[in-house]
A and B are shown apart, each in its own frame.
Chain A
């Protein structure tokens, strides 16, 4: 994207004031997004975002400057701006590029070959399927998006890494209304692929039906009772519990500053012995996958927890300096307006040996969380929360009725120890994760699991 002589001049200029590491990041992203409401296309957008950022490190100090202008003059200005944070004399020269890492696009059908009519057809199919599910579905909103995200990373240690990450997602929200009450259901699959995802992975009509089914089920559900009970969390997006309750606390952003309940716990039992957890950025075609991270390091499969024992943190370049820990290919950022930091990719509980039906049958009275919404965590204390978008109350090991409005809360370190069942079949679901370096695509996943007790928030009384 930029001539190598310019790259070298920029990296070297950035080291002028005593930095020991410099990095140039360039980005060019094209995206198409469309919204269909009630069967009519409401919005269509095209966006091209182009820009560059220069980062300088000296020890654990970091400076970053970015610009939407990628001309030679602007890149050198960024380098000077970043360097101006340090006040020393030049100590290091930038090496010439000697390591090339090129990640080829996973897309079989690039988005440039797709016209709007194809995009509209998908949303129409999803909308019609949702409406056909039930007369109580009063409104359907479908959001289509595709991204072709291209990155170039160069650093003063001679690394040049290029990556191209296509991704597609269609999110369908169905609204069911009756008697002045409204409930919603969503289904939003996404993959790190080209448009072929709609042939190979996504049954778009099923997406519409799933969203409608949740909305209608919740419309006829009583409010979830409040209290502390056993909870079975189904696979797929249920893995948000791992994402929030644990892995945010394994990121160098919190561990490197001593702000996580999991600090100093490497090699220790942090979860029940049946728990194995993985963050794997290499899985082909997945939502959180990349060839090289946004610091130019190869993405890898990180086995976070083995048999309940903490094996590794998620560490970027700056984090490795703060923690004296190997880099794990976890440096990520939303776009050039953010400096990179340690983030997740595809994060999941590995499959276990337990029977999916048995864990419901033997749970007594509690909640079956069939579909989860989003959540958040305070890594310092490990206090997490997330929403249950489709829940069922269980009594005597049998499903009694659907329940709405449930939230699960707890402390990560405690809940990991209380996992007493892990099922055999694992699957993943996509989400957008927000943190210091912006909003990035991450997958969460798990088989069906059971937690022996957890605080369930809701506004209902006894059922």
Chain B
């Protein structure tokens, strides 16, 4: 059965069986990815997925069922109705009706149209150029090109027809550098049409690996910290659920009741911008037309991120932040392009301002060592020791600990060097941030 036939049958059955409304979110993806190692293909993958996620509103409650087999619409509808019947939460479950979408400017992506052989060639060249970049590059831990097209349809019985086709392309390189017996690696990535111009990520990967040699720990204590843009973005991403209205309404966010209050240094402005030029979108996972949201302005909390349901509960409009963690997942909240607005100072000016302290270049274990509910974090870190505005040496085997909200108030410098993380369930960016203090554990 085709998508249209299967959808029509599901909608018809759902309405016959007493549902008030029904909606489908379908995502079909065709992709190609290639990894190379030592001049040979190590992984070559052709991908085709097609998921159909049905949501019904039955008795005012919303129930889901997902399948990848376009047959037996009745069983799918029955599963969804059963799940709607199980819901005890009395929140209303609105759906988006028919609407117009803003035109967005998307850069053409010629990489997706390249032949498989050309993409393989691109990956081989990326590895070859990485090995040639510096004598100390011993081999690669990872070298891949990933491209594809996703077609998304969100249709419902209220007349919503949100259709879009999105292309994606990314390059990832991880160089392993060797000096004596020591080896260190670092990954760098790029996505979008510009991946054929990959010299910058080779340099980034090699520079970050080189930085780790001859590292030592430091004495435990409080340090002034320069959190480099990529590490700052990783931390913001890990804590961004704090800003979701759903977390606030469920008592899982410390930002409850803080609208209009100063929650961060006046240097901090945070925006959620679905139109951001490198990753624009017309609508969110509920088909709501994109809008820009000012989340924090000069340190004052202005808005949470809403989907239709959480917005209705607070009596406001959706901020077009419905998201699904994959085709099979229910509607939740996700940022679009969520970022701290850049400041004036270059990275080197921030190092001078740091004067004495640590530059943190990498934070790891973010899925474990932090708690989005309490805001506390204690994370393994790598970095550089700075004295008198000069980098002295590398630092490893330390942890950096603090509380996210306390840290946001302690920011005393914002860089001009904004960097975004890899797009996934939202895309988060930050410039480098100078922080009055974090607690470092070392020796």
- Residues facing A in B39-97 (CB within 8 A) are 40-51, 63-69, 79-80, 82-90
Task: Chain B residues near A374: list those with CB within 8 A.
Answer: 365, 367-368
In Å, the complex CA distance between A385 and B363 comes to 11
Residue of A nearest to B379 (CB): A407
B48 with A67: CB separation less than 8 A: yes
Residue of A37, A60, A376 near B365 (CB, 8 A) is A376
Task: Chain B residues near A228: list those with CB within 8 A.
Answer: 442-443
Task: Report the number of A-B residue pairs with Cβ-Cβ less than 8 Å.
Answer: 242
Q: Mark B95-117, 1 if CB is under 8 A from A, else 0.
A: 00000000000000000000010
- Residues facing A in B337-382 (CB within 8 A) are 364-365, 367-371, 373-376, 378-380
- Residues facing B in A37-94 (CB within 8 A) are 37-51, 60-69, 74, 78, 81-82, 84-85
Does chain A have a CB within 8 A of B402?
Answer: yes
Does chain A have a CB within 8 A of B279?
Answer: no
Task: Chain B residues near A63: list those with CB within 8 A.
Answer: 41, 43-45
Does chain B have a CB within 8 A of A264?
Answer: no
Residue of A115, A380, A460 near B185 (CB, 8 A) is A380
B83 with A37: CB separation less than 8 A: no
In Å, the complex CA distance between A187 and B269 comes to 37
Q: Mark B182-218, 1 if CB is under 8 A from A, else 0.
A: 0111000000000000000000000000000000010
Task: Chain B residues near A44: list those with CB within 8 A.
Answer: 63-64, 82-84, 86-87
Residue of B37, B88, B396 near A41 (CB, 8 A) is B88
In Å, the complex CA distance between A85 and B45 comes to 9
B49 with A51: CB separation less than 8 A: yes
A457 with B399: CB separation less than 8 A: yes
- Residues facing B in A412-463 (CB within 8 A) are 455-460
In Å, the complex CA distance between A257 and B42 comes to 11
A385 with B85: CB separation less than 8 A: no
Task: Chain B residues near A404: list those with CB within 8 A.
Answer: 376
Question: Beyond A62-B44, A374-B368, is A84–B116 a contact (Cβ under 8 Å)?
Answer: yes
Does chain A have a CB within 8 A of B388?
Answer: no
Task: Chain B residues near A128: list those with CB within 8 A.
Answer: none
Does chain A have a CB within 8 A of B439?
Answer: yes
Task: Chain B residues near A138: list those with CB within 8 A.
Answer: 251
Does chain A have a CB within 8 A of B401?
Answer: yes
Does chain B have a CB within 8 A of A267?
Answer: no
In Å, the complex CA distance between A50 and B76 comes to 14
Question: Beyond A405-B378, A457-B378, is A45–B50 a contact (Cβ under 8 Å)?
Answer: no
In Å, the complex CA distance between A383 and B370 comes to 18
A457 with B46: CB separation less than 8 A: no
B380 with A387: CB separation less than 8 A: no
In Å, the complex CA distance between A63 and B47 comes to 11
Task: Chain B residues near A48: list those with CB within 8 A.
Answer: 66-69
Task: Chain B residues near A458: list those with CB within 8 A.
Answer: 378, 399, 401, 439, 441
Of the listed stretches A176-184, A268-276, A309-317, A347-355, name the one at the interface; the rest are far from the partner chain.
A176-184
Does chain B have a CB within 8 A of A410?
Answer: yes
Interface residues on A, range: 35 or more
Does chain B have a CB within 8 A of A401?
Answer: no
B389 CB, min distance to chain A CBs, angstroms? 26
Residue of A nearest to B47 (CB): A66
Task: Chain B residues near A378: list those with CB within 8 A.
Answer: 185, 364
A372 CB, min distance to chain B CBs, angstroms? 9
Does chain B have a CB within 8 A of A259?
Answer: yes
Does chain A have a CB within 8 A of B179?
Answer: no
Does chain B have a CB within 8 A of A4?
Answer: no
Task: Chain A residues near B37: list those with CB within 8 A.
Answer: 257
Question: Beyond A407-B380, A457-B380, is A184–B397 a contact (Cβ under 8 Å)?
Answer: no
Residue of B nearest to A41 (CB): B88
Does chain B have a CB within 8 A of A120?
Answer: yes
Task: Chain A residues near B80: list those with CB within 8 A.
Answer: 46
B87 with A385: CB separation less than 8 A: no
In Å, the complex CA distance between A45 and B87 comes to 11
A175 with B439: CB separation less than 8 A: no
Name, among A43, A44, A63, A82, the residue most crowded by chain B CB atoms within 10 Å (CB to CB).
A44
In Å, the complex CA distance between A381 and B438 comes to 26
In Å, the complex CA distance between A175 and B254 comes to 12
Residue of A47, A116, A257 near B86 (CB, 8 A) is A116
Name 23 A/B residue pairs within 8 A (Cβ), A-sorted: A43-B87, A46-B82, A48-B67, A51-B49, A68-B68, A85-B44, A138-B251, A226-B220, A339-B43, A385-B380, A386-B369, A387-B368, A387-B378, A405-B376, A405-B401, A407-B379, A407-B399, A407-B401, A410-B397, A455-B217, A455-B399, A457-B401, A459-B402
**Chain B residues close to A by CB (< 8 Å):** 37, 40-51, 63-69, 79-80, 82-90, 116, 139, 141, 176, 183-185, 217, 220-221, 250-252, 254, 328-330, 364-365, 367-371, 373-376, 378-380, 396-403, 438-443
For the complex of A and B, the 8 pairs showing the least CB-CB separation, nearest first, are A457-B399, A226-B441, A374-B368, A44-B83, A385-B380, A459-B401, A459-B439, A65-B46
